[in-house]
Amino acid sequence: MTVVHLTSDTVSLVLDARGGGLPVVVHWGAPLGDLSEDDLLVLADTAVPPQANSTPDAPVPVSLLPEAVRGYQGRPGLRGHRAGTAWVTSFRVADLRVTDTSVLVVAEDPHAMLHLELTVELTRSGVLRLRSRLVNDGTDPYTLDGLEAALPVPAQATELLDLTGHWARERHPQRRRFDLGTWSRESRRGRTGHDATLALLAGTAGFGFRHGEVWGLHVAWSGNHVTHAERMPESPAVLGGGELLAPGEVILAPGEEYTSPWLYAAYSGRGVDGLSAAFHTYLRSRPRHPATPRPVVLNTWEAVYFDHDLGRLRDLADVAARIGVERFVLDDGWFRHRRDDTAGLGDWYVDETVWPSGLTPLIEHVTGLGMEFGIWVEPEMINEDSDLFREHPDWVLAPGDGTLPPRARNQQVLNLNVPEAYTYVLSRLDELLRDNDIAFVKWDHNRDLVAAGHRGRSGVHGQTVAIYRLLDELRARHPGVEIESCSSGGARVDLEILARTDRVWTSDSNDALERQTIQRWTALLLPPELTGAHVGPPTVHSSGRTQHTSFRYATALFGHFGLEWDIASASESEVAAMAAGIAYYREHRALLHTGEVVRADHPDPSVYVHGVVAPDRSAALFAHVQLTTSANAVPTAMRPPGLDPDRRYRVRVVEPAGPPMTVGSSGPDWSPRVLTGRALAEVGLRPPLLAPEQAWLVELTAEPSA
């Protein structure tokens, strides 16, 4: 056995595999450079802690799967039993396969009769991925209660940050001290959840977007899951996570196996932005990452709701095409019995009473205007008022005692653990995509899974695996169709669903003020091109706020841009503003969707400053956003981060969808001028005195070298 070093330009992971047990993490953090084998041995020996009083006589190792049998008093990485026996494990490494970028640990526990394969991969972006495969080598069943990898973080990580929220207010940050004890974020919603944390972060005191050391984990799983931070008096602090299993949900028969979700981990020595950069770079390197320019979307939901009228939708499509929309998406209401949200889910046939000639007339009109056609589905759900439920009332995820779970949005969850239900949904969606010219599917999931049982046991794990299998099969049959993960807004946002979809619907809220924070923190994990961001109507249906066109536009600009608005009834000036704004988005989306997302640590809590900087630092686009009224009478300078300090940038204020509303003096004359990146970062630009809920956009272009 040996000491293993996986390293990149931004991170190092050192594992000590000499003891025969599961590898111990010596270091996860700043890159250590080139280290010889002797250097690694010395480092591993140096990292062994002294023995604390009233603890085991030998130092307690903290492995990638911490084990109680080694003396670890925290949360064990593997929890399970055989009818009460084999409740602790003592794995011994049988094989260690090491490459420059990965480690495969093969371990056995002859007493517990378990076989373990633990994979650690270091991606080119510096993101680590960990996953475990557990096999029951015994002759009787093994009940698995949890299989969660963990990574230690150093003592200087004294603060925790994670995200929480609810419908129309997803992904808001919360901070706390990383004190002794366990901070556990558990989700039993059967989906990622509106309140889920995209990542659990530990960092140095006061870490921000642009400063401090930060360590972060993300559990890539769309069902029940847990992420935890734990600090014990006698052990290193750890971050860990995995699938959250219900009692008896996974019982491995002899020879059966369980594979945990991927646990993603990243380190940054330059604040939260560095962590985001690692995740964004990783996602952009995937073979299936969207490669074509992200088309301008118009979704019909807030334009027509359930009022599906061919003439009205054609008129909407005409205006959309005229102003530059590239993808027209027909939302809920096209299938049988679906005149409101109380009926029809499961009856995935075009409603002949609304569409007597099928969807073809609308699709041909839309595609004839040069736009793609998209459609909304919610295949994992069922209304009790539907032909499908009346025929198969047993096709519902339910406790198994003859009762149904409480309804949510008038619907139940279709049990895809039932092979016939799975086959039915697959065949209906396959036929829909085969018989219609559909380029995009908005795939919704509008409720939590409550008392979601299958054959008397929890069915959430099986449902999650089934939906992955369903998406994989549809993608194989229809490889050109793009899919959006929507879940009553942003309640299913994780890297495993994104391995099968092309973007997420970030939130059901199109309120630009709410969206500023939602999008800011969704970008913790996801780059802008994966996050749907639409301009809604002037008065927001989810909050009742009325907002200026320019603010709604400037908010949606920094995502996968679209509209959710009855633009056919909008004023001429509003339509003209959207046409100009769409033209600007289409001109700059290459920058917006390949550049590095940067967020300033602004001293004024009423202001956000964020932007996107080209990979070669040749161009950038920034927004100074006035969220609310400031305590300052004069605005603080906007200091755009991430620029090349030695290059000279031409600064130009842009107003693609109209000027922001100002109060009092508008500030200096903002005709184009040239400043160095260093001057911009250190001195900054003076924005005008903006009214609340306004944004000031600044475009920066590097001057040619002399």
Sheet with 149-153: strands ordered across? 149-153, 237-243, 225-231, 181-187
Residue 247 burial (CB count, 10 A): 8
Count Cβ atoms within 10 A of the Cβ of residue 395 and give its class: 0-12 exposed, 13-18 middle, 19 or more buried. buried
For the chain, the helix, strand and coil percentages under 3-state DSSP, each to the nearest 5: 20, 30, 45
Question: Rounded to an integer, what distance in angstroms lies between the CA atom of residue 381 and that of residue 501?
Answer: 19
- Spell out the alpha helix ranges (H) of 402-527: 419-435, 460-477, 512-522
The string of DSSP letters for 602-661 reads -S-TTEEEEEEE-TTSSEEEEEEEE-S--SSSSPPPB---SS-TTSEEEEEEE-TT-PPP
Q: Residues 189, 193, 197, CA angle at the centre, nearest 5°?
A: 125
Q: How far is CA 528 from the centre of its chain?
A: 11
Phi/psi at 609 (5° precision): -125, 120
Question: Rounded to an integer, what distance in angstroms lies between the CA atom of residue 96 and that of residue 420?
Answer: 43
Which helix (H) or strand (E) covers residue 27, if one does?
A: strand 24-29
Phi/psi at 386 (5° precision): -155, 155
Sheet with 12-16: strands ordered across? 3-7, 12-16, 24-29
Active site residues: 444, 508
Residue with tokens 């009205």: 312
* Token pair belonging to 58: 């030998």
Which helix (H) or strand (E) covers residue 37, if one does?
A: helix 37-46
Q: How far is CA 114 from the centre of its chain?
A: 33
Question: Rounded to an integer, what distance in angstroms lies between the CA atom of residue 482 and that of residue 676?
Answer: 42
DSSP E strand stretches across 381-539 = 381-382, 412-413, 440-443, 453-454, 457-458, 482-485, 503-505, 531-535
| Residues 205 and 159: beta-carbon distance below 8 Å | yes
Pairing of strands 503-505, 482-485: parallel
Q: Residues 213, 216, 219, CA angle at the centre, nearest 5°?
A: 175
Question: Rounded to an integer, what distance in angstroms lies between the CA atom of residue 182 and that of residue 160?
Answer: 11
- Beta bridge mates, 117: 106, 133
* Token pair belonging to 194: 């509106």
The string of DSSP letters for 271-333 reads -HHHHHHHHHHHHHTSTTS--S----EEESHHHHTT---HHHHHHHHHHHHHHT--EEEE-S-
Q: Residues 694, 566, 622, CA angle at the centre, nearest 5°?
A: 25
- Beta bridge mates, 4: 15
Question: Rounded to an integer, what distance in angstroms lies between the CA atom of residue 625 and that of residue 687?
Answer: 10
Question: Rounded to an integer, what distance in angstroms lies between the CA atom of residue 410 and that of residue 93?
Answer: 52
